[in-house]
Amino acid sequence: MAGVLWQYFSNEPLLLAYLLLTALLIFHASHSAGWLSMRKNKRNLPPGPAPRFLVGNWFDFPRRDDASQYMEWEKKYHSKILHTSCLGQHFLVLNSLEDAEVLLEKRADLYSDRPDMPMIDKMGWSNNMTFMRHRSEEWRKHRRFAQQNFRQDAVSAYHEIQTRHAHAMLKGLLDTPECFEDHNKAFSIGVSMSIMYGNNVKTDDSYSRATSDAAYMAHNLMLPTFTLLNFFPALSYIPAWFPMAVAQRMVRDTKRLTGMLVATPIEVVKNKIKTGDVDPCIVSRSLEADGSKENEDIISGVSFTVYTGASDTTISATSTFFYLMATHPEIQAKAQAEIDHAVGVDRLPGFEDRQSLPYIDAIYREVLRWRPPDPMGIAHRAEKDDTYKGYFIPEGTVVSANIWAMVRDETLYPEANVFRPDRFIGADGQLIDDDRVLAFGFGRRICVGKHVASASLYILFVSILATFNITKAKDADGKDIEVNDEYSDTGVVAHKKPFKCSIVPRSRISRTLI
């Protein structure tokens, strides 16, 4: 028994000493709106594992590779809609695109909220638009600001920035190809920072590390089984210096990094505005138009949302791209042939070429389908009791769209496990109409920066394909070093585990262009 307890409480073993709080747990559970329904409620909850006394399904939640585990549950419980509960909190997993579209889009008024997670405020992430509550005025104001700046007809203003950073990455790959992951991070964070802050804030390794570390810790702290702090916020008052208070230290460190990421860049821009030496950008233009404290909070919140969320997912997608190009030379060759035919070899491709390069866009779509950066998406919340397909969905239920299961649905994507960009190319050689990228989410909480993300990935992919050959690395005997197919399976955003590959210029002309 002790071994089982240690396995599930290893992130915060201090909680083992708090078994005396059982009375508090019972009080909480018995007064929760949902706990009694675990065993006694006659309303028909969706299928799922049977809850245990008091803790519900705490020990049933997948600790690793949760999206794939929920696909196995679909077979086990013969349902694409799955239910679990924990300490009175209901959880719903949607493995079907059809169900996600009905609940999260057609019934968006009921399912556009975010779960109530006390850790959001504790970590300093309350100003992150992604996790704001649906009915809050703050979310409406942040969303309006983001839509004004990132709508489809506005993103062409950022093409120069994206192209510049893509070309900088080409130079990095030319000089130190073995450091391609570092160049990937520099591109992803550099684009986000430059769009928001222009050339006023110089991005360096400190921003890259801080952004990566803060996102990693925050995303883990928000997982339902990583810590009990979201169920019992009072536990957060245990001091971080207390022995084995792992989660409390992560909260402290996340808040410290977040404070730096939110405050420092905008202060730099404000000081440059005062001296008249400011580079025009979203932040500077917005502050000059309205320098009120309220507007500054909105600007800093959206900026933080952009370069923590967008950067991490772009890093994930680009790592997948390198991996897939190294392991699919025939697809890489087909893409390069298209570029050579449509663009030529005497210049680098640009955004003006995108319409002439349907296969590049097909690669972009297939990369995000084959390995979505966020396999389980960001959870929604039911604001009222609801019924769907005869199932009862209690108010407050946390609803997650299993994007991984949807992109592996053979009825939608035949041979779904195969990386095949041609699935998005029609008989006429042009892109088919299926341009929806499920990785961007659903309904009112769909990623507002999806058009910027699309443009960033396009210009990076096409620039690299035009100038480099990506192949498997060789060992001392000249034999291929097989690339591992492993991804991180903890946290929110999935990242390709480190691997080696060979990245060399396609020709002397390519080297000269770079």
| H-type alpha helices, 52-105 | 66-77, 97-100
We report the CATH number of the domain holding residue 389 as 1.10.630.10
In degrees, rounded to 5, the angle at the alpha carbon of residue 131 between the alpha carbons of residues 70 and 289 is 150
pLDDT of residue 10: 45
pLDDT of residue 308: 79
CB count in 10 Å sphere of residue 421 = 23
pLDDT of residue 205: 66
Tally of domains in the chain: 1
pLDDT per residue of the chain (514 residues) written in tens, 0 to 9: 333 333 444 444 444 444 334 434 444 444 444 444 444 344 799 999 999 887 888 888 887 889 999 999 999 999 999 999 988 889 999 999 999 999 999 999 999 999 988 888 888 888 899 999 999 999 999 999 999 999 999 999 999 999 999 999 999 999 999 999 999 989 998 999 899 998 888 766 677 778 778 877 887 787 766 777 777 777 777 777 777 778 888 888 888 988 888 888 889 999 999 999 898 899 999 999 998 999 999 999 999 888 877 788 899 999 999 999 999 999 999 999 999 999 999 999 999 999 999 999 999 999 999 999 999 999 999 999 999 999 999 999 999 999 999 999 999 999 999 999 999 999 999 999 988 999 999 999 999 999 999 999 999 999 999 999 999 999 888 899 999 999 986 667 889 999 999 999 999 999 999 9
CA 485 vs CA 2, 364, 419, 499, 500: distances in Å: 34, 19, 13, 9, 12
Binding site, by residue number, is 447
CA distance 249 to 375: 27
CA distance 333 to 470: 10
Task: Kindly compute the dihedral angle of the four CA atoms of residues 342, 345, 349, 355, in this order, to the nearest 10 degrees.
Answer: 0
pLDDT of residue 231: 73
pLDDT of residue 93: 98
CA distance 301 to 464: 33
CA distance 264 to 244: 31
Question: CA neighbours within 13 Å on the CB side: how many for 317?
Answer: 29
Binding site for heme, by residue number, is 447
pLDDT of residue 245: 77
pLDDT of residue 225: 67
CA distance 265 to 53: 49
Q: With CA atoms as reference, report the closest residue to 9 among 214, 252, 212, 235.
A: 235
Quote the crossing angle between the two packed helices 450-467 and 358-370, to the nearest 10°: 110
Q: With CA atoms as reference, report the closest residue to 364 among 428, 426, 307, 431.
A: 431
Listing DSSP states for 302-334 in one string gives HHHHIIIIIHHHHHHHHHHHHHHHHH-HHHHHH
CA distance 206 to 265: 12
**Domain that residue 51 falls in:** 2-513
| H-type alpha helices, 51-124 | 66-77, 97-100, 108-111, 118-122
CA distance 357 to 461: 12
**Is residue 434 classed as helix, strand or coil in its secondary structure?**
coil
CA distance 415 to 63: 28
Q: With CA atoms as reference, report the closest residue to 140 among 129, 151, 128.
A: 129
* Phi then psi dihedrals of residue 399, to 5 deg: -115, 120
CB 134 within 8 A of CB 382: no
Question: CA neighbours within 13 Å on the CB side: how many for 109?
Answer: 0
**Is residue 278 classed as helix, strand or coil in its secondary structure?**
coil
